[in-house]
Amino acid sequence: MAKPSRRSRGSNTIEDVARAAGVSAMTVSRVINGGKNVRESTRTAVLEAVRTLNYSPNTAARSLAAGEATHIGLLYANPSAAYLSQFLIGALQAARRAGAHLVLESCESEDADEQAEVTRRFATSDVEGVVLPPPLSESEPIMAELAAIGIPVVTVARGVPQEDGLNVQIDDYEAAVEMTRHLLELGHRNIGFIKGHPNHVASHDRARGFADALREYGVDADRAPVEQGYFTYRSGLAASERLLSLPTPPTAIFASNDDMAAATVSVAHRRGLVVPGDLSVVGFDDTALATSVWPELTTVKQPISAMAETAVELLLADLRVRRAGSPRRLIKRTLEHALIIRESSGPPFAAKRSRPQKAAG
Amino acid sequence: MAKPSRRSRGSNTIEDVARAAGVSAMTVSRVINGGKNVRESTRTAVLEAVRTLNYSPNTAARSLAAGEATHIGLLYANPSAAYLSQFLIGALQAARRAGAHLVLESCESEDADEQAEVTRRFATSDVEGVVLPPPLSESEPIMAELAAIGIPVVTVARGVPQEDGLNVQIDDYEAAVEMTRHLLELGHRNIGFIKGHPNHVASHDRARGFADALREYGVDADRAPVEQGYFTYRSGLAASERLLSLPTPPTAIFASNDDMAAATVSVAHRRGLVVPGDLSVVGFDDTALATSVWPELTTVKQPISAMAETAVELLLADLRVRRAGSPRRLIKRTLEHALIIRESSGPPFAAKRSRPQKAAG
DNA sequence: GCGGTCCGTGTTACCGCTAACAAAACAAAA
DNA sequence: TTTTGTTTTGTTAGCGGTAACACGGACCGC
Mutation target for A interface from B230, B231, B292, B309: give the one with most A CBs within 10 A.
B292
| pLDDT tens by residue, B43-57 | 999 999 999 988 888
Question: In this complex, is the C-beta atom of B154 within 8 Å of any C-beta atom belonging to chain A?
Answer: no
User: CA of A59: which chain B residue's CA is closest?
Assistant: B60
**More confident of the two residues A328 and A217:** A217
Question: In this complex, is the C-beta atom of A67 within 8 Å of any C-beta atom belonging to chain B?
Answer: yes
Nucleotide nearest to A46 (CA to C1'): C9
| Segment of B56-65, B116-125, B176-185, B281-290 carrying the highest mean pLDDT | B176-185
The predicted model gives B283-302 an average pLDDT of: 89
**More confident of the two residues A294 and A347:** A347
User: CA of B96: which chain A residue's CA is closest?
Assistant: A101
Quick one: which residue's CA is nearest to C25's C1'? B39
The pLDDT-based confidence of A269 (bands split at 50, 70, 90) is confident
Whether B311 and B146 have beta carbons less than 8 Å apart is answered as no
- As a rounded value in angstroms, the CA-to-C1' distance for A284 and D26 is 62
The predicted model gives A342-357 an average pLDDT of: 70
The answer to whether some atom of strand C lies closer than 7 Å to the beta carbon of A37 is: yes
pTM over 0.85: no
| pLDDT tens by residue, A286-296 | 887 888 788 99
How many angstroms separate the CA atoms of A272 and A319, rounded? 56
How many angstroms separate the CA atoms of B218 and B212, rounded? 10
Handedness of CA B170, B176, B181, B183 (dihedral sign): positive
Whether A315 and A131 have beta carbons less than 8 Å apart is answered as yes
**Residues of A numbered 180-209 whose beta carbons fall under 8 angstroms of chain B's beta carbons: which are they?**
none
User: CA of B12: which chain A residue's CA is closest?
Assistant: A126
The predicted model gives A42-66 an average pLDDT of: 88
The answer to whether some atom of strand C lies closer than 7 Å to the beta carbon of B26 is: yes
- Quick one: three-class SS letters along A329-342? CCCEEEECCEEECC
* Per-residue model confidence (pLDDT) at position B358: 34
The pLDDT-based confidence of A354 (bands split at 50, 70, 90) is very low
* Residue B349: other Cβ atoms inside 10 A: 13
The yes-or-no verdict on residue A327 having pLDDT over 90 is: no
pLDDT, mean over chain A: 87
* Per-residue model confidence (pLDDT) at position B79: 67
User: Does residue B109 come out as left (phi exceeding 0), alpha (psi in the -120 to 50 range) or beta?
Assistant: beta
* Per-residue model confidence (pLDDT) at position B167: 94
The answer to whether some atom of strand C lies closer than 7 Å to the beta carbon of B38 is: no
Strand partners, B105: B75
The pLDDT-based confidence of A201 (bands split at 50, 70, 90) is confident
The predicted model gives A141-157 an average pLDDT of: 91
The predicted model gives B217-229 an average pLDDT of: 96
The yes-or-no verdict on residue B344 having pLDDT over 90 is: yes
The yes-or-no verdict on residue B129 having pLDDT over 60 is: yes
How many angstroms separate the CA atoms of B70 and A99, rounded? 10
**More confident of the two residues B163 and B22:** B22
* Per-residue model confidence (pLDDT) at position A326: 66
Handedness of CA B225, B227, B232, B235 (dihedral sign): negative
The pLDDT-based confidence of A297 (bands split at 50, 70, 90) is very high
The pLDDT-based confidence of B325 (bands split at 50, 70, 90) is low
The answer to whether some atom of strand D lies closer than 7 Å to the beta carbon of B65 is: yes
**More confident of the two residues B164 and A236:** A236
Question: In this complex, is the C-beta atom of B343 within 8 Å of any C-beta atom belonging to chain A?
Answer: no
The yes-or-no verdict on residue A344 having pLDDT over 90 is: yes
The yes-or-no verdict on residue A173 having pLDDT over 90 is: yes
The predicted model gives A297-314 an average pLDDT of: 94
* Per-residue model confidence (pLDDT) at position B334: 94
The predicted model gives B49-66 an average pLDDT of: 88
| Segment of A251-265, B54-68, B91-105 carrying the highest mean pLDDT | A251-265
Q: Which of A57-66, A179-188, B190-199 has the lowest mean pLDDT?
A: A57-66
Whether A128 and A153 have beta carbons less than 8 Å apart is answered as no
The answer to whether some atom of strand D lies closer than 7 Å to the beta carbon of B39 is: yes
What number of helices (H) and strands (E) belong to chain A?
13, 12
* Per-residue model confidence (pLDDT) at position A121: 87
Residue A36 sits at φ, ψ, to 5 deg, of -90, 170
Q: What angle do CA B169, B175, B181 make, to 5 degrees?
A: 175
Chain B: nearest CA to A232, how far in angstroms? 8
Q: Which of A84-93, A181-190, A219-228, B74-83 has the lowest mean pLDDT?
A: B74-83
The pLDDT-based confidence of B360 (bands split at 50, 70, 90) is very low
Burial of B345 (0-12, 13-18, 19+ CB in 10 A): buried
User: Does residue A101 come out as left (phi exceeding 0), alpha (psi in the -120 to 50 range) or beta?
Assistant: beta
The yes-or-no verdict on residue A319 having pLDDT over 60 is: yes
User: Does residue A144 come out as left (phi exceeding 0), alpha (psi in the -120 to 50 range) or beta?
Assistant: alpha
- Measured torsion, CA atoms of residues B228, B232, B235, B241, in degrees rounded to the nearest 10: 100
User: Which of A205, A264, A220, A206 shows the shortest CA–CA distance to A239?
Assistant: A264
The pLDDT-based confidence of B351 (bands split at 50, 70, 90) is low
* Per-residue model confidence (pLDDT) at position B269: 87
How many angstroms separate the CA atoms of A344 and A280, rounded? 6
Question: In this complex, is the C-beta atom of A78 within 8 Å of any C-beta atom belonging to chain B?
Answer: no
| pLDDT tens by residue, A76-87 | 987 677 788 889
The pLDDT-based confidence of A1 (bands split at 50, 70, 90) is very low
Percent of chain A topping pLDDT 90: 54
The yes-or-no verdict on residue B361 having pLDDT over 70 is: no
Question: In this complex, is the C-beta atom of B257 within 8 Å of any C-beta atom belonging to chain A?
Answer: no
Query: What is the distance between the terminal CA atoms of chain B, rounded to a whole angstrom?
Result: 75
The predicted model gives B287-310 an average pLDDT of: 90
| pLDDT tens by residue, A119-131 | 998 887 778 899 9
* Per-residue model confidence (pLDDT) at position B8: 52
CA distances in angstroms from B286 to B240, B301, B340, listed in the order given: 19, 5, 8
**More confident of the two residues A267 and A67:** A267
* Per-residue model confidence (pLDDT) at position B67: 79
- As a rounded value in angstroms, the CA-to-C1' distance for B298 and D26 is 79
| pLDDT tens by residue, B155-206 | 998 877 777 789 999 999 999 999 999 999 999 999 999 999 988 888 999 9
Question: In this complex, is the C-beta atom of A58 within 8 Å of any C-beta atom belonging to chain B?
Answer: yes
